[in-house]
Amino acid sequence: MKKMMKYIKKIRFALSLLPVAGVGFTSCTDWLDVPPPDMLLEKDVFATEQGITKAMNGLYLNMAEGSLYGKDLTFYTTELMAQRWNVMTGNVVTTSSTAIQMSRIPIFEFGVEGVRNHFNGIFRQAYVLIRNVNNFIAKLEATSGILTAQRKDWLLGEAYALRAYLHLDMLRLFGYPPVSNIDGRGIPYRTEATAEWTDILPVGEVLEHIYADIEVALAKLANDPVQTLGVQIGGDNTEQSFFYNAYRNRRMNYYAVMALKMRACMYAGDNDSRLMAGNIAKQLIESQSFQEAFPWGRERLSSGGVDANDFIYSREIVFGIHVQEMYDQFANLFLPTNTQAFTALPTSGGFWRYMFNFVSGSDHSVIDGEDPRLHQWVGYNTADGTSTSVITTKFRRPTRDDAQYRYFYPLIRKSEVYLTAAEVFQDVAYVDEIRNARGGLKPLDEVSDGTYDLQDQILREWMKDFVSEGQLFYYYKRRAQTSIIGINGGSLSMSTANYMPHLPLVETER
């Protein structure tokens, strides 16, 4: 009992910091109390609406674990594999040899015990959460008369969407690139709230299960209030209606599920699936309610730092989660000490120059010299006194109490919709729309005299917009690229094996 109360108090404090109309939640907000995961198995949790909403909240909070979206699947492991961080500069002590083995030639040393154990931890935590989601679905479907039919559908829709989301990310991380072999090794797809073994399915079968869960979610979220009310930042948190109507971008809302379907279709890689992804992207782009719910963050970022800027363009986030430990985690990896050495994960000057179209060996950018996202980076003085590296400041802690995006971590972003349309239809207009939203950058045709390569510019937008969000590695993998941009900005050869961390032995040797 003491352990349970300690957990609940911790969660209550964490969520008390979420802003509502510029003011934090108070610690007496009962509906924000969240039972520990094991308590989701208790029948009385599903005996009241308050218990059910607490359980729903608990699923989202579980996503914020460090081995999931609180670190590894956002700004650490997947970004190391995408070559974001330079961990072999000789001045990094906050990362272990495991980090080097995950990010350096021979890339990647997935068979090394430390690396294998690291990925085992990610896999295990994801499937523990999937089990909790399955339990939530089973218990909620068995209820009668506790929720209105509409509210029950909404929560079930979110849960089915979460199950699809988690399985897709496990497939994107551990499975065979589908564009190379749709019948290659995938992952288990678990729909029951048990710990019993299930078969490892081929990639194509996993995708079919993902599509099926997404269709259920879309049907149940057909009347999601996000379509008429928008995101609704703030509201009366003393009413249960607040739980369903407010902060819809912190939940798997209808538009987030549409974007998830787009992402899954794009990952499948075949022509029909890609066209489906492109059509979904166009449907969202042409939707007035989508645009009103997620307006572009057109702020022109300045060098004034995190307190003067919404560095994450929070209004554009279609789905994100509350990560209470994000600033501590980020500080451990990206905040140098006063000596500017031995603590931070820098990005090499070469990688940074490639990302922003800088001419090699100079500080002049033909295309992106005015890009406000440049202000998300600061110079880094390495141990040997050089300054050829930079460090991202994108997720540093804002000290302003009225920053509504505090502790908010993006998992689906509006720009992904536009980049999907640009890639499928090979239309520069979608890239130019993102550029215009980034401080009014000029169209690519105008700044480059039409000499650019569109797919290369799409890649650079992925590199710039999704810094510390874990999506760049998946961009490379879904295309099964045989070369990617390496640590120093040059080309790095890749094989299929480089894209496939080992599944836990308990999954493969039974």
Q: Does the residue 454 lie in any domain?
A: yes
3-state class (DSSP) for residue 100: helix
Supply the pLDDT for residue 237. 57
Supply the pLDDT for residue 413. 98
Spell out the residues 6+ positions from residue 234 whose beta carbon is closer than 8 angstroms to its own.
Answer: 19, 20, 21, 22, 246
Q: Does the residue 500 lie in any domain?
A: yes
Q: Does the residue 106 lie in any domain?
A: yes
Q: Does the residue 375 lie in any domain?
A: no
Supply the pLDDT for residue 34. 42
- State the Cα–Cα distance between residues 410 and 394, nearest whole angstrom: 12
Expressed as residue numbers, the domain containing 243 is 2-326+394-508
Q: Does the residue 190 lie in any domain?
A: yes
- In 3D space, the residue among 11, 64, 136 whose CA is nearest the CA of residue 409 turns out to be 64
pLDDT tens per residue across span 211-257: 999 999 999 999 999 999 999 887 655 566 778 888 999 999 999 99
Q: Does the residue 354 lie in any domain?
A: no
Supply the pLDDT for residue 449. 79
Supply the pLDDT for residue 6. 36
Supply the pLDDT for residue 427. 98
Supply the pLDDT for residue 402. 72
Spell out the residues 6+ positions from residue 471 whose beta carbon is closer than 8 angstroms to its own.
Answer: 78, 416, 462
- In 3D space, the residue among 388, 380, 249 whose CA is nearest the CA of residue 314 turns out to be 249
Supply the pLDDT for residue 323. 95
Provide the CATH number for the domain around residue 87.
1.25.40.390
Supply the pLDDT for residue 379. 85
- Total structural domains within the chain: 1
- State the Cα–Cα distance between residues 237 and 243, nearest whole angstrom: 7
Supply the pLDDT for residue 164. 98
In DSSP terms, 185 is beta-bridged to 202
Q: Does the residue 386 lie in any domain?
A: no
Enumerate residue ranges in the chain where pLDDT < 50: 1-39, 93-95
Confirm if 85 and 79 have CB atoms less than 8 A apart. yes
Q: Does the residue 18 lie in any domain?
A: yes
pLDDT tens per residue across span 468-479: 999 999 999 999
